[in-house]
Amino acid sequence: MIEHTGQQTYSESAVHRILDANLDRAREGIRTIEEWCRFGLHQTHLTEKCKTLRQTLATWHTPELRASRNTPDDPGTDLTHPQEATRTDLTHLLQANFCRVQEALRVLEEYGKLYRNDMATASKQMRYEIYTMESELMGHHRHQKLLQSQLYLVTSPHEKLFSVVELALQGGLKLVQYRAKDEDDMTRVQIGQKLKQLCHQYDALFIVNDRVDLALAVDADGVHLGQQDMPLAIARQLLGPHRIIGRSTSNPKEMAQSLEQGADYIGVGPVHTTPTKPGKAAAGLEYVRHVAQHATVPWFAIGSVNTDNLSDVIDAGANRVAVVRAIMQAENPTLVTQYFIAQLAHGQRMRLAPPSPQPPPHTSPTAYSDGHIH
């Protein structure tokens, strides 16, 4: 029942329309999220969770509320916003629908108090469940992308930085790290924000080198830490459980420590000496072989890896590589990116393919009594 409080009288039909509209919004938003959980992530428990939430909302969507609907006279049906007309990438699409569901549930919670208190209480609890699902799904989404990424571009200063990165993204690149040692913080924030938008436009991950504060400032997907940077545990406290944290390693001890501390991925190298790490000795292909046998998270061989020596790195066991100059200084970043991705994918297929049946032992031809060679 609709209650009357003080001098203010609530219109029962108006409250019914508000509840009806927001039940629709919540159910539609959850269904949009559910489709990605089902067909994109193949996550049974998240799909079932979405379905349960939708069915719970359906029990509140009574004929009484539906009968109050008056779409022709609703002044809000013609209202729109430019951001509603486009979705820049999958992350944007999912985030928009989580926000839509959360807002609708808040409305149901508040106006439900004028209709049925048990509905208001249930809507409040459901809103907290959606917050938890958002954290789980958005974090899972990042890590799924990380698992699927085989090529990692680490940027270096370039007069056409954005153009080079976009050309690589057009070639299929899905993981970019912004590395800048000399710019001031204001410039880094401006460049970082633009690179993040560019990466997300192509559904790629954007990582910031060294700086946790910068990663937070530009809302990056994660941070890459060197051995002398902030301890991984502190970075995790600041970034939360769903952003990606990578760690550079150059020997088995550093690898073991990084895995124990919870790195989401590790850099392995430098495979060869590189001007990016002046004075640092090469870890060599032997370390690549060690990591191939012992790593439990995604890892990227790095250090002067280029199109000439890529096959050696793949033969040592690498499925993923990180590059700087090979793309940043390439005449055709798109073509070079496609070459790296194709070669890495081929190498991985070869490793996963079942061994070919061995031919029978070779024997010399035998002359039989009929005079023919068999």
Characterize 329-361 residue by residue with b for buried, 16 or more Cβ atoms within 10 angstroms of its Cβ, and e for exposed: ebeebbebbbbbbebbeebeeeeeeeeeeeeee
Contacts of 54 (CB under 8 A, 6+ apart): 27, 30, 31, 34
Provide the sign of the torsion angle of the four alpha carbons 152, 157, 160, 162, taken in this order: positive
**Rounded (10°) angle between helices 161-170 and 333-352:** 40
What number of residues does the chain have?
374
Cα-flanking dihedrals φ and ψ of residue 203, to 5°?
Answer: 60, 40
- Rg for the chain, CA atoms, rounded: 28
Question: Residue 364 corresponds to which tokens in the numbers above?
Answer: 């010399």
CA angle, 281 as apex, 280 and 287 as ends, to 5°? 120
Residues annotated as part of the active site: 179, 248, 277
Question: CB of 235 within 8 A of CB of 267?
Answer: no
